[in-house]
Amino acid sequence: MHPVGSRLLLFVVVFTAVHLTALGTTLLPDEPTGITFFKGSWKDVLAEAKRQNKPVFVDIYTSWCPPCKRMAKEAFPNPKVGTKFNVHFINYQLDAEQGEGVQVAKQYAVASYPTALYMAPNGTLVHRAVGYSGINGMIDQADHMLALPLLRTTIAKGDRDYVSGKRDPTFLKKYLLTRQALNRPASDVLDDYLDALPESERLAPETMAFVASAIQSSTTRAFEYLIKNRPDSLSADLAQQTLATTVSSALNHVLDLDFKLVIATSDEVLLETVIANSERNIASAKPLLIREEAQKQEAANRYRLVFLQQTQHLLK
C-alpha cells in the first residue's frame, strides 16, 4: 500500500489531535528584500503559476558559472530587483547539473549559463535569455517580458503599491477586486482589508457581505472573522436571515474548495485543518447544538475516507 494510504487508514481508526497555529497570517518585512524563490518541484511551481495566474521566472545556473555567482550575489538580493520580480513573477531556480534541473535544461535547450526562462501562467515558454546583464538589465528584461501580450494580462493595477505597503481600506478593496478579475488569489489582500478597517465598520452588514463574496479559503483571517461574527439565521429580521444565508454559503464553499485542494495536492496537514475548520463551522452555525465526540469523529473520518479513496485513485 502507498504510504499515504497506510497513514490515512490509521487516522480512520485513531483520532489524530490537531493543534492549529495562527492561520493565514501575513507578515510584511520591515525592509525591502531581494527575490523570493519558490520552494518545491518543477511540477509544483507550474501548478502555483497557474493557481496565481502569474508568469514564472526560472534561473537556470551551475555551481561553477562565474556570471551565475555574480548574479546571485549582486542582483538577487537587490530590493529593486526583488520588488519587480516578486510582484510580477513566481521565481524559481534550477541547477542544470542536479536533480530536475538536468531534464528541464535539456527540455528547453539550455546550453549556456545563466539562462533565464520566462514562462506564461499556463506553462508556455515565452522567452529564453542567456547571460547576466546587471541589475538594470534584469529589470529592463522583466519590463520587456511584461509588455508582451501573453503576460500583459497578468498585471494587476496596484501590485507595486501593495508590495510597498499601501494598506488603506479603499485601495485594498479596489485592488482585491482587480486581482479577482485576473483570477489571482486575493486572500492576503482580504485579510489586510479587514485589518485596515476602522472598528466602526468591521461589523457592518455591508462589510460582512463583501467578505463573504470575496473569501477564498478557510485558512484565512477572513474565515475567522465570519465564524466569529456570523449572523443569527433564526433572527426575526429578514435582512439578518439573508445575510446569515450568504455567510453560511460562503463558509461551506471555501471549505469545499480547500478540500478539493487537499485531494489535488495530497496534503494531509491541510486535510486536518479542513476537518477542524469544518467542525468549527458547524458549531458556529448551531451554537446551541452540543455534538458528542463520537459525532465529531465520524465527521472527521468521512473526510479522511474520501481523501484516501480519491488520492489512491489519482495514484493509479
Phi/psi at 90 (5° precision): -90, 120
Lookup: cell for 131: 547571460
Per cent of the chain over pLDDT 70 is 89
Q: What is the mean pLDDT of the chain?
A: 87
Burial class (CB in 10 A: 0-12, 13-18, 19+), 74: middle
32 vs 66, higher pLDDT = 66
Peptide bond before residue 114 is cis, with ω within 30 degrees of 0: yes
Would you say 30 and 75 are in contact if contact means Cβ atoms under 8 Å apart? Answer: no
Q: What is the mean pLDDT of residues 41-52?
A: 92
Among residues 196, 266, 209, 211, the alpha carbon closest in space to that of 242 is found at 209
Q: Strands 56-61 and 90-95: what pairing?
A: parallel
Tell me how far apart the alpha carbons of residues 22 and 203 are, in angstroms, rounded to a whole number: 22
CB proximity list for 247: less than 8 A, separation 6 or greater: 208, 212, 226, 230, 231
Quickly state the pLDDT bin for 171 (edges 50, 70, 90): very high
Cα 255 from Cα 274, distance rounded (Å): 6
Helices 169-181 and 205-214 meet at what angle, rounded to 10?
Answer: 30
Mind listing the domains of the chain with CATH numbers? Answer: 3-24+165-315 (no CATH), 42-152 (3.40.30.10)
Position 165 pLDDT exceeds 70: yes
What's the whole-number mean pLDDT along residues 179-188? Answer: 86
Classified as helix, coil or strand, 131 is coil
127 phi/psi in degrees, rounded to 5: -160, 150
Q: Report pLDDT for 288.
A: 85
Q: Say if CB 128 and CB 93 are below 8 A apart.
A: no
Among 191, 150, 162, 132, which residue's Cα sits nearest to residue 54? 150
Give the pLDDT score at 20: 34
pLDDT classification of 13: cutoffs 50, 70, 90 = very low
DSSP, residue by residue, 214-237 = H---SSSHHHHHHHHTPPPTT-S-
pLDDT confidence tier of residue 10, bands split at 50, 70 and 90: very low
Q: How many residues does the chain have?
A: 316
Residue 118 C-alpha cell reads as 520566462
Q: Which residue has the higher pLDDT, 50 or 13?
A: 50
> Residue 266 pLDDT more than 60?
yes
Three-state DSSP class for residue 90: strand
Share of the chain above pLDDT 90, in %: 70
| pLDDT (0 to 100) of residue 65 | 96
| Positive/negative CA dihedral, 132, 137, 139, 143 | negative
Strands in 90-95's sheet, in edge-to-edge order, are: 90-95, 56-61, 115-119, 125-130
Residues 218, 202: Cα–Cα separation, whole Å: 19
Cα–Cα dist 151/120, whole Å: 6
| 8 Å CB contact between 272 and 284 | no
pLDDT of residue 314: 53
